[in-house]
Amino acid sequence: MDTSHNYGGEDEQLLFFKRAVEAARNGICITNPRMADNPIVYVNDAFLEFTGYKCEQVLGRNCRFLQRDDRDQFALESIREALRLETSITTVLRNYRRDGSLFWNELTLSPVHDQSGRLINFVGVQNDISARKDAEKRVSEFYSVISHELRTPLTSINSALSVIADGSAGKTNAQVMRMVEIALENSERLVRLISDILDWKKIESGKFKLNKTYACPEAILDRLITSVQPLSNSARVQLLKEVQTNSEVYLDVDRTLQILTNLVDNAIKFSPADNIVTIRVELRNADTVRFSVVDKGPGIPKDQITKLFKVFQQLDSSDSRRTGGTGLGLSISRSLVELHGGQIGVESGIGKGSMFWFEIYSKFESEVN
């Protein structure tokens, strides 16, 4: 017979739970809403450790003393609403220790009802996430530096090199021009890297918004081919367009181009010279369009395919790898597809080339009117 939940009599069971609560690493606070001002009636040792108070300095007080004069917090209004409705809530608020130092409190507040459904207590479980908040602040500052201190001057450098490369700044001998082209190529690579990092940060933080509109799939492919043609010419790889639907699609055109550009760039990089990369768009069913990029490269082992769409993952991360990259492109592409409500995948095998595809679920013009 399973006795894992058999603690003996009621007194023994209460003692068991009391010891469990007291041993918890999370701060636990219990209040009594049946008394005036919902005072604290119990705290465990972790709560006292978090706050720096002694037990006698806490019992009988409302939890608001932990906010001191920092009462203008959105989280507090959410907590008051949860108390009023007798519902659970998890939120983050700024609390202050006895010595006045700030700590970020991730609080989960839950009501406790008796057998008749009457509210008898609120239980607050606290977690000090100050270290996590500090790390998030440093990361945010890092991205700000990338955005303002790196991207802006790099864009200026890129523009200056472009002017020299296209001859607008005057004639340049072949040796100097070759160095300019190398510098331009690498500056463009750095610009793409910075843009990828900033996009990834926006997506990760949930602040990335799509700008959807109706667009013709063939027009999207035409723009794509124009932008990647220099790379394909340099690699001696032919681009073949296959348009199997003319239905307008409701999507973010720029982000769809970003996804396709990443897939086509990869296909060109891994394709042998004098081969073809096929870019296809087709209607899968009444509300789904599929874009595909097919190459005749070396293919991908099955046990490596799961790595492809993970952040900072590359199939060959060695210093001698054939192509450069950060491992962000496919991860960003997956996220952009998912923001559209779609899915992305790959079909590949050693010696068989690869087909990267993504599907976007869309309402078509004919269905709206």
Domain of residue 359 covers 213-368
**167 within a domain of the structure (yes/no):** yes
* pLDDT surpassing 70 at residue 155: yes
Q: Is residue 4 part of a domain?
A: no
Output 314 or 227, whichever has higher pLDDT.
227
pLDDT of 240 over the 70 cut:
yes
Say if residue 168 is in the same domain as residue 268.
Answer: no
Q: What is the CATH number of the domain that holds 37?
A: 3.30.450.20
Task: Name the band, by pLDDT with cuts 50, 70 and 90, for residue 311.
Answer: low
Q: Is 279 helix (H, G, I), strand (E, B) or coil?
A: strand
Res 157 pLDDT > 70:
yes
Amino acid at site 251: L
pLDDT > 50? residue 189: yes
Q: Do 31 and 96 belong together in one domain?
A: yes
d(CA 102, CA 99): 9
Does 5 fall in a domain?
no
Work out the average pLDDT over 89-118: 95
Residue 3: what pLDDT? Answer: 43
Out of 158, 178, 205, pick the residue that ends a domain: 205
In this prediction, residue 43 carries a pLDDT of 95
- State whether 76 and 176 are in the same domain: no
pLDDT at 135: 82
So what's the pLDDT on residue 4? Answer: 45
pLDDT at 75 over 90: yes
pLDDT at 314: 53
Q: Could you read off the pLDDT of 341-356 as tens digits, one per residue?
A: 999 999 998 888 999 9
User: What confidence tier does 100 reach under pLDDT thresholds 50, 70, 90?
Assistant: very high
- The string of pLDDT tens digits covering residues 243-268 is 999 888 899 999 999 999 999 999 99
What is the C-alpha separation between 270 and 252, in angstroms, rounded? 27
Q: How many distinct structural domains can be found in the chain?
A: 3
- pLDDT above 50 for 318: no
Mark which of 183, 205, 227 sits at the end of a domain. 205
Angle between helices 329-339 and 174-205 (to 10 degrees): 50
105 and 142 housed in the same domain: no
Q: What CATH number is given to the structural domain containing 222?
A: 3.30.565.10
- For the four alpha carbons of 294, 297, 303 and 308, in that order, the dihedral sign comes to negative
Average pLDDT of the segment spanning 83-111: 95
Q: Note whether 236 and 350 are same-domain residues.
A: yes
Q: Taking residues 293-305, report their average pLDDT.
A: 88
Instruction: Name the β-bridge partners of 93.
Output: 105
Using the predicted structure, report yes or no on whether residue 104 has a pLDDT greater than 80.
yes
Q: Is 325 a residue whose pLDDT tops 80?
A: no
Q: Are residues 350 and 220 in the same domain?
A: yes
**pTM attached to this predicted model:** 0.57
Computed over every residue of the chain, the mean pLDDT equals 86
